[in-house]
Structure 1
Amino acid sequence: MSQADASSLAEEREARLEGASRGTGIRFLGSEVTTLFRRRRTIALLAALAAVPVLIAIAVRVTEGPARGGDQGGPAFIGSIMQNGLFVALTALVVSIPAFLPLTVGVVAGDTIAGEASHGTLRYLLTAPIGRARLLVVKFLAALAFVVAAVLALVVVGAIVGAILFPVSRVTLLSGDEVGFWGFVGRALLMAAYAAVSLVGLTALGLFISTLTTVPVGAMAATIVLAVVVQVADSLSQLAWLHPYLFSHYWFGLGDFLRAPIVWDSLGQNALLQLGYLVVFGLLAYARLSTKDILS
Structure 2
Amino acid sequence: MRSSIKSTALAATTAALALGLTACGTSSDPSAASSGGTTDESKPLVIAASPSPHADILNFVKDKLAAKEGLKIEVKEFTDYVLPNTATEQGQVDANFFQHKPYLDDFNKKNSTHIVPVVNVHLEPLGLYSKKAKSLTDIKAGQTVAVPNDPTNEGRALQLLAANKLITLKEGVGTAAKLADITDKKGLEFKELEAATVPRALNDVDAAVINGNYAIEAKLVPAKDALVLEKAEGNPYANLLAVKDGKQNDPRIQKLAKLLNTDEVKKFIEEKYQGSVIPAFGAPAS
For this structure pair, what is the TM-score category when the shorter chain's length is used for normalisation? under 0.3
Q: By percentage of residues, which structure has more strand? A: 2
Between structure 1 and structure 2, the one with the greater Rg is 1
For normalisation by structure 2, the TM-score amounts to: 0.25
User: Which has a greater percent of helix?
Assistant: 1
TM-score (norm 1): 0.24
